[in-house]
């Protein structure tokens, strides 16, 4: 006890708090989680690994470009940067299945490649444990299969094929958008 009643009251309060505090839980080894951005394309669910998508946008206004492939939508100004937009359904040989309001742009930013991939819909962040992963993937359209690296099946039984965005960024057909 001191001659300062306010200090004594604070010390008493700190002692009461320490005595009634619950200890922290023990560290438990949890299953490592894999996270990615979920999206749909051609009626199939996909997930792109974290770090491969820099952002998700609603469809911005677009300026059409002459002399390009049919799957090139055009250019958009996103915060002062020109973002080329590509219709992934058309790139893979089909038309978009979603209406334009549901479509989202997945932005790739790999060094010199800054591109927007338009997909049918985005499902935001998805999280999986490694035990849900399997290498064999069924029911993926043949045109998309070279870009798929396994799949996760979530607790509700939904299958999420892992779409490797780096593989599309290396594809010479994707990189050459000029009309032939």
pLDDT-based confidence at residue 31 (cuts at 50, 70, 90): low
Whether 89 contacts 58, CB under 8 Å:
no
- 33-175: CATH architecture: Beta Barrel (2.40)
The domain locations on the chain are 33-175
> What integer is the mean pLDDT of 44-53?
94
Tell me the pTM.
0.79
Burial class (CB within 10 angstroms; exposed 0-12, middle 13-18, buried 19+) of 46: buried
Query: What whole-number distance in Å separates Cα of residue 60 and Cα of residue 176?
Result: 23
pLDDT-based confidence at residue 30 (cuts at 50, 70, 90): low
- Chain-wide mean pLDDT for the chain? 89
Whether 118 contacts 107, CB under 8 Å:
no
Q: Which residues on adjacent β-strands are paired with residue 121?
A: 40
pLDDT of residue 29: 56
pLDDT of residue 114: 94
């Amino acid at each position: 006890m001191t001659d300062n009643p306010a200090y004594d009251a604070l010390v008493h309060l700190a002692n009461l708090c320490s005595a009634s505090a619950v200890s922290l839980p023990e560290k438990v080894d949890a299953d490592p989680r894999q996270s990615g951005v979920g999206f749909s394309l051609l009626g199939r669910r996909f997930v792109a690994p974290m770090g491969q998508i820099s952002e998700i946008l609603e469809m911005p206004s677009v300026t059409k470009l002459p002399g390009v492939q049919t799957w090139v939508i055009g250019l958009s100004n996103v915060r002062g940067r020109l973002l080329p937009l590509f219709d992934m359904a058309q790139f893979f040989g089909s038309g978009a299945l979603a209406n334009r309001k549901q479509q989202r742009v997945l932005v790739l930013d790999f060094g010199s490649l800054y591109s927007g991939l338009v997909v049918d819909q985005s499902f935001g962040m998805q999280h999986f444990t490694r035990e849900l992963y399997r290498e064999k993937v069924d029911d993926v359209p043949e045109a998309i299969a070279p870009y798929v690296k396994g799949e996760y099946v979530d607790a509700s039984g939904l299958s999420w094929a892992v779409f490797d965005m780096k593989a599309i960024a290396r594809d010479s057909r994707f990189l050459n958008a000029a009309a032939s």
